[in-house]
Amino acid sequence: MNWVMDRCRLCEMRRERNSDYCAFHLEAIKNLEEAYEVWRKALQIEWTEFLELASERPETGQWAREAAIYLSMGGREA
């Protein structure tokens, strides 16, 4: 199997079946999507702005930050 093809887009972990991401970045993206609903209601902001703000928060976990930065730069969603 091609090593690169097998890997998550954001790290060197093996990607999940039918996804571009490993289980952890996939979980982080799911959390971002869930959190966005709260941010949108609270601050009336768009997805891209949310990703930028979330990636700058110190409380954001490492994988969620990596996913937020990647998605904010135009990376495809899961």
Confirm if 67 and 10 have CB atoms less than 8 A apart: yes
Q: Determine which residue in the list 8, 15, 39, 78 makes contact with other proteins, applying CB under 8 A.
A: 39
Tell me if residue 55 falls in helix, strand or coil.
helix
Confirm if 54 and 60 have CB atoms less than 8 A apart: yes
Residue 8 interacts with other proteins (CB under 8 A): yes or no: no
Residue 61 interacts with other proteins (CB under 8 A): yes or no: yes
Binding site for other proteins (CB under 8 A): 12, 24-25, 27-28, 31-32, 34-35, 38-39, 41-43, 54, 57, 59-64, 68
